[in-house]
Chain A
């Protein structure tokens, strides 16, 4: 009746990227993980492997994780070449062993792109995404200065579409999946979310120019419309938002051409 108990346990071989620190050389190391319940999550398997390594006197595998329910965006494994593993629409932490065959050899790597350098093993530094947000991913509103929440109606469709974009968990899988290491889906999600709402209009041009400029400066590449990003996105955020971003960017650039003072978008 209950599938998680009807399947027999499995064993797999993990090929894990081990790297002692930033800039250090790394290599793949093979580990056996035996007798695993298929209802176990991929990260729980790493917990078990790590406890075994610890007891054997070896250093456990460092990997980023926190909420383990697909919402905090901390986990960031590349499993068999795919950010967040084989399934669409889930984060690494929501990947379960029932997705793997008994005896499988599974390769586990960190994200590999210059703007996200490796800190250790499978942990990367994604501070670049925070910097993009700081460049303009907000609506300027001082605490206490807001009008009544129902003062400005927001059409249901706009709110729903904004929410589709706002679901981004900032995990970085989009950029990791992109052959150009482009952060366009990430930027597009924020720009679209705020740009779809009436509250976000005042800073719309400034926001898109500043965020795109910052992503470029931090070394993220350009979009060439392969849509690997939305395929890897654990929240399945659509690449349609990139089209919206491009439109916004073009309009903002055009308008900025006539108004020199809005050109320095990043400043306060």
Chain B
């Protein structure tokens, strides 16, 4: 059984991080260059970590499966990044950002981690502005803010609808500077396919060069995974097509615990699905909810009428009706579920009936079309490109889609997994968002972890490791890992079945969306737990991966990722089945209040479930880390 020591520092909440930093072991500057650190992934968390560690003097190797570190999917984040700067003088504070985040997460995250996140948020904005991130400004030249879902203050910093892009390019530029200085060695088109554990410690990885198929072994004193979330397990999501769980899943198979896999976020404002060929769903930034009003017809028979012909009196602005205090700005899980509910009632709009209106006519009346264009122009353009509809004239149609995963590898306060030497940052870990993430907090967490947490906490581990003592990459454990990867590649290529990889990915996505999506119940989860292993067996008997392993082979890449999703999907359902409560993005139909809101079970479920791999064909072990709330009272979330 894994030892799960969260290593939360003692003392008052507001002092924990500073006290911990003061007490952390330091690495002598002359020794830093003797340590090699592997960073997998170069999104916000990975790029900021690699750059900062290199600035400190560590030797860093950065691995990305993309052709350039600037392509990571952080780049697609639209709306903004939260920080408790209180520049708007509207009563914001570190405590309030912390409180909103922990409440938004439905009291399923760690107090200490979440507080630290809020605390370092202010440093992130300073850092990014100094790097040249062109945040929106007021006429006086100072930074502008906007409000965002789940918050009643304006604390979100933004760069038009491309905040993630600008923040990532900031981190990418910091990384580029270190590459030029020779402090970071960059490996592009390089996918990590196994973690190497030596003597119980993570000491390296096995990597496949996606252009040549060559496998290489890389040894290091510590390994950092910043490889993002696993939402593509659903096939259709707002993730990039290449986003995958392979790095964290292979680490799981090497002993790292996987925490809360059932906590997935379904984002309320995405463009609805149009057909079976569809490869991805496009997000319409949540910021649209600031000025757009969400509605469906009051009567199901009106759902096919042109929206303009439905009089005010016959429209149901259901979020404003159900949640008068937060209205259209209520948190994502709540807004998504409400959309599902009105569509289940037969009032959904659009061809499929799986859509609701996001209407800007009031905003246009108030601000003028020019005003709306200034705020959201690029989003309206995206909508037009995809749907061929002009949202200045007719309301947008939106529907929830998989957007983020709160679950991920288990980490302690130092962001180290239960495998010593293995650190996990950003969306790939589980630590800060509980059962639901608030808008504009993913960018905050990625950069907090990379710029301001790991540079300190990694020292606490490295100081215990003798400099220069890392194993050689031809040690037995490395050779075994390489053979494992080679075997898997051959096995995938060798099936020579009849169906392409996409066939299995789509079917897995359907199972999960139906049974482990916005609403879950025992019967559905049990059915999924029968269907997924059967589908996995079919995959290994009937998948067709053309070509060879010695060249660029995109089918082979995807096959490996889908093979992992077929295992991860089962773990998600398992986790969802055991979690007999509703919390945040995990909604169990058996556990709801009469008004349809999710019902937590704090007496039995106020804990992190950290699943531990037990080997092929054996049920994983469910470890538990209790969530002790010392400073905040767990209460029923109320956005009414």
A residues in contact (CB < 8 Å) with B: 1-5, 20-21, 37, 39-41, 43-45, 47-48, 50-51, 53-55, 57-60, 62, 64-74, 89-90, 94, 96, 98, 119-120, 123, 125-127, 129-130, 133-135, 137-150, 152-156, 159-160, 162-163, 166-167, 169-170, 193-194, 197, 199-200, 268
Q: Is there a chain A Cβ closer than 8 Å to B129's Cβ? A: yes
Q: Is there a chain A Cβ closer than 8 Å to B631's Cβ? A: no
Residue of B nearest to A74 (CB): B71
Q: Would A155 and B137 be within 8 Å (CB), given that A1-B306, A37-B277, A143-B455 are in contact?
A: yes
Report how many residues on chain B are interfacial, defined by Cβ distance under 8 Å: 89
> Could you say which residues of chain A place their CB within 8 Å of the CB of B552?
21, 62, 119-120, 123
Q: Is the CB of A57 within 8 A of B277?
A: no
Q: Is the CB of B166 within 8 A of A72?
A: no
15 contacts between A and B (CB under 8 A): A3-B388, A4-B388, A39-B388, A40-B278, A41-B279, A51-B502, A60-B554, A67-B71, A120-B552, A138-B173, A144-B127, A147-B126, A153-B140, A155-B141, A166-B159
B residues in contact (CB < 8 Å) with A: 48, 51-52, 55, 66-73, 75-76, 85, 87, 123, 125-132, 134-143, 159-160, 162, 165-166, 169, 172-174, 176-177, 179-181, 186, 188, 211, 240-242, 274-275, 277-280, 282-283, 304, 306, 350-351, 381-382, 385-389, 451-452, 455, 498-500, 502-503, 544, 546-547, 551-552, 554-555
CA distance A44 to B282 in the complex (A): 14
Q: Would A39 and B134 be within 8 Å (CB), given that A137-B176, A153-B140, A163-B159 are in contact?
A: no
> Could you say which residues of chain B place their CB within 8 Å of the CB of A120?
211, 551-552
Residue of B nearest to A162 (CB): B134
Residue of A nearest to B394 (CB): A1
> Could you say which residues of chain B place their CB within 8 Å of the CB of A43?
279
> Could you say which residues of chain A place their CB within 8 Å of the CB of B165?
71, 167, 169
> Could you say which residues of chain B place their CB within 8 Å of the CB of A127?
67-68, 188
Q: Is the CB of A134 within 8 A of B131?
A: no
Q: Is the CB of B544 within 8 A of A55?
A: yes
Q: Would A139 and B68 be within 8 Å (CB), given that A51-B500, A71-B165, A133-B176 are in contact?
A: no
Q: Is the CB of A166 within 8 A of B169?
A: yes
Q: Is the CB of B451 within 8 A of A167?
A: no
Which among A20, A60, A134, A197 has the greatest number of chain B C-beta atoms within 10 A?
A: A134
Q: Is the CB of A166 within 8 A of B351?
A: no
Instruction: Rank and list the top 8 A-B pairs by shortest CB-CB distance, nearest first.
Output: A153-B141, A138-B173, A146-B130, A146-B126, A134-B180, A149-B129, A163-B134, A143-B52
Q: Would A72 and B134 be within 8 Å (CB), given that A4-B387, A129-B68, A163-B159 are in contact?
A: no
Q: Would A66 and B73 be within 8 Å (CB), given that A153-B140, A159-B137 are in contact?
A: yes
Q: Would A65 and B159 be within 8 Å (CB), given that A48-B277, A127-B188 are in contact?
A: no
> Could you say which residues of chain A place their CB within 8 Å of the CB of B499?
55
Residue of B nearest to A54 (CB): B500
Which of A44, A146, A160 is within 8 Å of B279, CB to CB? A44
CA distance A137 to B68 in the complex (A): 15
CA distance A3 to B75 in the complex (A): 30
> Could you say which residues of chain A place their CB within 8 Å of the CB of B174?
138, 141, 143
CA distance A144 to B85 in the complex (A): 16
CA distance A78 to B531 in the complex (A): 42
Q: Is the CB of B55 within 8 A of A143?
A: yes
Which among A94, A154, A194 has the greatest number of chain B C-beta atoms within 10 A?
A: A154
Closest-CB distance, A42 to chain B (whole angstroms): 11
Q: Is the CB of A60 within 8 A of B546?
A: yes
Residue of B nearest to A210 (CB): B180
Which of B70, B87, B274 is within 8 Å of A4, CB to CB? B274
